Amino acid sequence: MKGNSTFDSKKANAYYDSFGRKYHDIRVKEGKLFNEYIEIPAVLELITSFPTVKSILDVGCGSGIYAKKLYELGYAVEGLDTNEEMIAIAKEYCEGLDIKFTHSPFEKYESSSKFDLALGSFLLGYFEDPSVLFSRMKDFLTPNGRIIVSGVHPIRTSSTSKVNEGYFVKDYFINPTYETVLLPGEEPVDIINHTFQDISNAAYTSGLSIERILEPVPQIKSEEYKGYRDFTFHMRNPSVVIFMMKINN
């Protein structure tokens, strides 16, 4: 059993109030390793492999980066986020595009639409109980709809680092949170550490089956990469995990 969680959603929200614009600009101008070079290529390949997907609900859409990519690929997209500043940036970034953005906690979100896919990019670490996220996503799906959620890999969130020696797993079953560095030079953000069993159990209790588990490596060429992390380490060690789920029949 894990220790008591120290996750503070208000603190996380305040972080994006303060640094949302800086975070967005780095994502767009340089790209972040875990996002643009690891998670996004794998997720887009997964989505486009399903020709029946036409409409997508982007849960925790942030500054609209995914929404814009998906819209430009031809999908009907609706996005929501709990942070007002990020929604404001998303509306600006996607100005002129037919994308509806809503400022709302997902637990209180309402829409008359049903979607072929509900996407939760790096959302796992922001929910104490993943079944809350999965059950709400399920509510907005068409009968044959899919859910794709991602997060920092449980091996990574349960690891500690040693200079020049890499990362070592520590307290996998009891470590409640993980400090993730979103912006170099700024304070890290605490996210919740979930084991694979936590996520599997949450899917099961939500009436969902896990169809695919992806552990992608960077899709990157050294001459294209402008970030500060050593991406070669992530070619050898897990950093991101992606789950695709469907409704149990």
The answer to whether position 225 is within a domain reads: yes
The answer to whether position 52 is within a domain reads: yes
Q: Is the pLDDT of residue 181 over 90?
A: no
Predicted model pTM: 0.94
Residue 200: DSSP 8-state:
H
**How many domains does the chain divide into?**
1
- pLDDT the model gives residue 104: 96
Query: In the structure, what pLDDT confidence band is assigned to residue 9 with cuts at 50, 70 and 90?
Result: confident
Q: What is the mean pLDDT of the chain?
A: 92
The answer to whether position 2 is within a domain reads: no
Residue-wise pLDDT for 84-106, tens only, equals 999 999 999 999 999 999 999 99
Neighbouring C-beta atoms of residue 21, cutoff 10 Å:
16
Cα distance between residue 109 and residue 116, in whole Å: 17
Q: Is the pLDDT of residue 226 over 80?
A: no
Contact 158/125 with Cβ under 8 angstroms? no
Helix 196-205 to helix 130-139 angle (10° resolution) is: 40
Contact 117/56 with Cβ under 8 angstroms? yes
- pLDDT the model gives residue 5: 53
Burial of 24 (C-beta count, 10 Å sphere; 0-12/13-18/19+): buried
Residue 182: DSSP 8-state:
S
- pLDDT the model gives residue 2: 58
Cα distance between residue 153 and residue 240, in whole Å: 4
- pLDDT the model gives residue 222: 66
The answer to whether position 139 is within a domain reads: yes
The answer to whether position 207 is within a domain reads: yes
H or E element in which residue 214 lies: strand 208-214
- Partners of residue 59 on adjacent β-strands: 80
Q: What is the extent of the structural domain holding 98?
A: 9-247
Helix 65-72 to helix 84-93 angle (10° resolution) is: 30
- pLDDT the model gives residue 228: 64
Residue-wise pLDDT for 110-165, tens only, equals 999 999 999 999 999 999 999 999 999 999 999 999 999 999 999 999 988 765 66
Start-end of H helices in the chain: 9-29, 40-48, 65-72, 84-93, 130-139, 154-157, 196-205
Distance of CA 86 to the CA centre of its chain: 15
Residue-wise pLDDT for 35-58, tens only, equals 999 999 999 999 999 999 999 999
- pLDDT the model gives residue 223: 66
What amino acid is encoded at 127 in this protein?
F
Q: Is the pLDDT of residue 6 over 70?
A: no
- pLDDT the model gives residue 165: 64
- pLDDT the model gives residue 87: 98
Cα distance between residue 87 and residue 80, in whole Å: 7
Torsion sign, CA atoms 47, 51, 57, 61: positive
Q: What CATH number corresponds to the domain at position 115?
A: 3.40.50.150
The answer to whether position 3 is within a domain reads: no
Buried-state track 100-130, b at ≥16 Cβ within 10 A, e below 16: ebebeebeebeeeeebbbbbbbbbbbbbeeb
- Report the pLDDT averaged over residues 226-233: 74
The answer to whether position 1 is within a domain reads: no
Q: Is the pLDDT of residue 167 over 90?
A: no
Higher pLDDT, 64 or 176: 64
Q: Which residue do the tokens 């986020």 mark?
A: 81
- pLDDT the model gives residue 24: 97
Query: In the structure, what pLDDT confidence band is assigned to residue 212 with cuts at 50, 70 and 90?
Result: very high
Structure tokens at 92: 């600006």
